[in-house]
Amino acid sequence: MLKIEPMGTAGGPRVGCAISGVDVRKLDAAGFAPIYQAFLDYGVIAVRGQELTIEDFLAYSRRFGFVVPHPSKSTRHPEHPELTVLGIDKFGPDGKLRPAVYLRGAENFHTDGAYDPVPFKATQLYSVAVPSRGGDTHFASMYAAWDVLPERLKTLLAGKRGAYRYGGRRQKQELLNPEDRDRAPVFHPLAPVHAESGRTSLYFDPGKILFIEGMEAAQSEDVIAELSERMIVENARYNHHWQVGDAVIWDNRCMVHKAAGDYPPEEDRIHWRVSILDREVPEEKLRA
């Protein structure tokens, strides 16, 4: 029997839940409905105890939207380009650890896909191998971030858009192929209304934002610095400790996340990842 267990910080907003008692390969529409509603209600859901092939994982992921390839081509699965394999190739030919691979996603809280004209609706990971310790993923609600912003900031951000590019101001683009680097920035509202919940959230990624449209450079930098300090609300967080067979999906429209980056590098921490849009986008318009 399907069981939904809230997992977020006690006493805080509803952030994160664990779902058990279900095999996602066998869901009909009625069985999937409470899982999708939990995704909207909690922002991130972990469906435990799954035994999935790549085809199973892709089929389940497509129930949430349209699965598209990630811009980082080097870790795409050779037979399934819409699937990224995370945690492989941590060591170079010289045997030295490659920090960009080992610490991927661990530098700061972020939202996936802000660098694309149509940002990702959701990201889903399926856990293939877990380390003996560490390796968690941290999540935080951007609904909560918006709710607690001072009114002066809410007024300042109303109608404003952030300019985003892969690598942001630090130009960290080593995981992209050379032909995919330094694309023109894209612009997204900083205070969007969620298409399904109707709630306002802060949409902000300190590692990908270049500037805030319509502000002088100094003011833009000051606001970016302040939002970076205010974006994580401590009682609106969820920390996921991975088990093999976990399928974890989160809503990039209202959540940010980061990897802990603390597991023993000689051990495996391997996930399959997919990127999900809320609507179908032609390939030529996916990344302008």
Cα–Cα distance, 259 to 240 (Å, whole number)? 10
pLDDT at position 208: 92
pTM for the structure as a whole: 0.92
Q: pLDDT tens digits for 206-220?
A: 999 999 999 999 999
pLDDT of residue 177: 47
Q: How far apart are CA 272 and CA 98, in angstroms?
A: 19
Instruction: Look at residue 219 and tell me if it is in a domain.
Output: no
> Residue 45: inside a domain, yes or no?
yes
Given a cut of 80, whether residue 125 has pLDDT beyond it is: yes
pLDDT number for residue 77: 81
Assigned domain for 200 exists: no
Taking residues 207-235, report their average pLDDT.
96
Q: What is the CATH number of the domain that holds 254?
A: 3.60.130.10
Residue 71 or residue 128, greater confidence: 128
Rounded Cα distance between 210 and 213, Å, is: 9
Average pLDDT value for residue range 149-178: 79
* pLDDT tops 70 at residue 163: yes
b or e along 25-54 (b: 16 or more beta carbons within 10 Å of the residue's beta carbon)?
Answer: eebeeeeeeebeebbeebbbbbbbebebeb
pLDDT of res. 157: 97
Domain span at residue 115? 3-148+231-280
Yes or no: say if 61 and 31 are a contact pair by the CB < 8 Å rule: no
Q: What is the mean pLDDT of residues 153-165?
A: 95
231, amino acid identity:
M
| Rounded-to-integer distance, Cα 49 and Cα 199, Å | 32
Domain contains 167 = no
Query: What mean pLDDT do residues 111-130 have?
Result: 95
pLDDT (mean) for 141-170: 91
CA distances to 31, 127, 217, 282 from 67, rounded to whole Å, are 21, 18, 36, 12
Residue at 161 is within a domain:
no
Residue 52: inside a domain: yes
Q: Is the pLDDT of residue 149 over 80?
A: yes
Residue 263 in this model has a pLDDT that exceeds 60: yes
Question: Phi and psi (nearest 5°) for 78?
Answer: -65, -25
Q: How confident is the model at residue 175 (pLDDT cuts 50, 70, 90)?
A: low
What pLDDT was estimated at residue 224? 96
Residue 217 lies in a domain: no
* CB distance 86 to 93 below 8 Å: no
Average pLDDT of the residues in 139-149: 97
Domain membership of residue 194 (yes or no) is no
The pLDDT assigned to 275 comes to 96
Calculate mean pLDDT across residues 247-271. 96
* Tally of domains within the chain: 1
